[in-house]
Amino acid sequence: MMLCAAAEQAGLLTTPAPAPASARPSTEARAATAAADPGPNLAGLLERVQEIPFRTATDSLLIDVSRPHEAPMEEFRALRTRLNHMKSLQPIHTLVVTSPSPAEGKSLSAGNLALAEAHLAGNVTLLADFDFRRPIVHTLFQTDRSPGITDYLLGKIPLHQAFRKIAGTNLYIMPAGEAVINPLELLNLREVKLLLDRLPTLFNWVIIDSPPLLFAADANLLSTLCHGTLLVVRIGHTTIDSVTRAMQSLCNNNVLGIVVNGARRGELYSKYTYYHSYYTPKDDDRGELEEIAAENPPVESK
């Protein structure tokens, strides 16, 4: 299946009359022009980004980073650790989060992973909503959908207006922007690749929420423009066949892992409640621990 589509077909650009052969630039000239274009100028961009309060939808199920011992936060910290380890072994800065089908929790997983990453000191993280068909990032963080990514790609706003900074955190978000009738053609614009190539100069992680793989070609295209893909599935909802077809649909073999949603809440909480009750000292245990420490002073290394 061909994923590339000309911007002219989308009605985004006007098609000029063909130039005479003698007036057309050579292949070498076109390559030199492309190489000379470094993409958008990001100098001083973050200083101009609007800051919004950290306000999440009450029913969003986003993790609470101020309560690190709760089971959902522990799970996304574990995912963060695995991804950061992979990043230490190979250059991974841009990550597409997708799923085989709708309602499998990809957007929630992308949001929670971004929050977990941004919780690390100095780990500046971007959550970008490239699901132009059914965007939800703006709803999760209680902000406006527009201005956003589509507004920038259509030339309606400067780039910094497509961002929001979540106050008190290292997290930035890019809402989807105004609705468009041709999302795939918009994603094929050269500006998308230039933007994704340049964003890692500002952010340690660029986490991209995209449409499901089996319902649109958007995620497949985005995966070819990014360093890795994370597949989200849901227990009791995702079938093995849909996972197989989703994996086969990807042009790039860059799936870093699979996130499984839908585990029973009781199982997770009982596991982490036991862990923390076992390893966290109670008030009446502290005196005993201090006595043990006094009787067993640390041995100095020579």
Task: State residue 204's pLDDT score.
Answer: 96
Q: What is the pLDDT of residue 40?
A: 83
Nearest to 206 by CA among 187, 222, 185: 222
Q: What mean pLDDT is reported for the chain?
A: 80
Q: With a cut of 90, say whether residue 205 has pLDDT above it.
A: yes
Q: Give the up-direction half-sphere exposure of residue 171: CA atoms within 13 A in the CB hemisphere.
A: 27
Lowest mean pLDDT among 39-48, 235-244, 278-287: 278-287
Asked if residue 11 has pLDDT above 50, the reply is no
Counting residues of the chain whose pLDDT is more than 70, the rounded percentage is: 74
The helix/strand/coil state of 203 is coil
Whether residue 175 is predicted with pLDDT greater than 90 in this model: the reply is yes
Which of the residue ranges 15-24, 51-60, 101-110, 204-213 would you say has the lowest mean pLDDT?
15-24
The answer on pLDDT for 159 being more than 70 is: yes
- Which one has a higher pLDDT value, 41 or 139? 139
What pTM does this model have?
Answer: 0.76
In angstroms, the CA 70 to CA 268 distance is: 9
Mean pLDDT, rounded, for 109-123: 95
pLDDT tens column, 243-294: 999 998 888 778 999 999 887 665 555 444 444 444 444 555 455 445 544 5
Q: Which two three-digit tokens encode residue 38?
A: 């470094």
The answer, yes or no, to whether residue 181 has pLDDT greater than 50, is yes
Q: Which of 62-76, 107-121, 183-197 has the lowest mean pLDDT?
A: 62-76
Token duo for residue 180: 């468009």
Structure tokens at 163: 């961002």
Percent of the chain with pLDDT over 90: 59
In this structure, is the dihedral angle defined by the CA atoms of residues 194, 196, 197 and 201, taken in order, positive or negative? positive
